[in-house]
Amino acid sequence: NAGVTQTPKFRVLKTGQSMTLLCAQDMNHEYMYWYRQDPGMGLRLIHYSVGEGTTAKGEVPDGYNVSRLKKQNFLLGLESAAPSQTSVYFCASSYVRGGRIEQFFGPGTRLTVL
Amino acid sequence: KQEVTQIPAALSVPEGENLVLNCSFTDSAIYNLQWFRQDPGKGLTSLLLIQSSQREQTSGRLNASLDKSSGRSTLYIAASQPGDSATYLCAAMNNAGNMLTFGGGTRLMVKP
């Protein structure tokens, strides 16, 4: 099991460029999430999905879009990157079993927007 | 809105000490509380998860407790080792089970 994987690991963008971050999990988890981690702000939820074809906004969704066309993949898109989106992005997935929900995280994508 | 606070923000101890990391949350209506470890430049590794109906969980040298009524959780690390050096994060899950709110973390350094 690879667990949760993220592509790419690093990326540098110029203001206004677009990009898509890919998250994949091979654990057959129902839920998937995108977070950003910033110094002094901790981890904050951007968007999440409770199943294939469904997505919902988290705490800081502005400037991002997501899609979950397949159960194992969760894509995060930046349509017009801004310097404020410089951050480390983490994807996570969780199972829902017997009332227990536990999140597992990927290694992160470090994004710099110039 | 849930707020999660971790104290202290940083901690340095000599090897072999037992230590306690603290986590407090403002809304006691939580689904569960999860403790994570994060090494520099890496992702988060789940350490312990405590369901809202539980009081504590143990894994090896780690023990986490939960007191919902007072909005507190503690992570106890026994006989600390240099390999325990990392940032420890606690996170409270909301009752809907779809959102984790993270604390700012405690950066732990265990000196040989």
pLDDT of amino acid A15: 97
Q: Closest-CA residue in chain B for A108? A: B43
pLDDT of amino acid A41: 82
- Say if residue A1's pLDDT is above 80: no
Could you tell me the pLDDT band of residue A99, with boundaries at 50, 70 and 90? confident
Q: What is the SS3 assignment for A48?
A: strand
Tell whether A14 is within 8 A of chain B (Cβ). Answer: no
pLDDT digits 0-9 by tens, B58-107: 999 999 999 999 999 999 999 999 999 999 999 999 988 888 999 999 99
Contact A42 B102 (CB under 8 A): yes
Q: Closest-CA residue in chain B for A90? A: B43
Contact call for residues B58 and B76 (beta carbons, < 8 A): no
Contact call for residues A70 and A89 (beta carbons, < 8 A): no
CA distance A101 to chain B (A): 7
Q: What is the SS3 assignment for B79?
A: coil
pLDDT digits 0-9 by tens, A40-98: 888 999 999 999 999 999 999 999 999 999 999 999 999 999 999 999 999 999 988 88
Chain A positions in Cβ-Cβ contact with residue B105 (cut-off 8 Å): 42
Closest listed residue to residue A24, CA positions, set A106, A102, A108: A106
- Say if residue B45's pLDDT is above 90: yes
Residue numbers of A between 50 and 89 with CB closer than 8 Å to B: 50, 56, 58-59
CA distance B10 to chain A (A): 13
Alpha-carbon gap, residue A82 to B12, rounded angstroms: 37
Contact A43 B89 (CB under 8 A): yes
Chain B positions in Cβ-Cβ contact with residue A102 (cut-off 8 Å): 32, 34, 46, 49
pLDDT of amino acid A39: 86
Tell whether A96 is within 8 A of chain B (Cβ). Answer: yes
Alpha-carbon gap, residue B106 to B6, rounded angstroms: 6
pLDDT digits 0-9 by tens, B7-29: 999 999 999 999 999 999 999 99
The tokens describing A38, both together, are 């910033």
Which residues, at least 6 apart from B64, have a Cβ–Cβ distance to it below 8 Å?
A: B33, B35, B47, B48, B50, B56, B57, B58, B73, B74, B75, B76
pLDDT of amino acid A98: 81
The tokens describing B14, both together, are 């000599």
Residue A9 Cα distances to A14, A88, B13, B42, B58, angstroms: 17, 10, 33, 11, 33
How many contacts (CB atoms, under 8 Å) link A and B?
55
Contact B51 A105 (CB under 8 A): no
Chain A positions in Cβ-Cβ contact with residue B31 (cut-off 8 Å): 101
Supply φ then ψ for residue A56, to 5 degrees. Answer: -150, 155
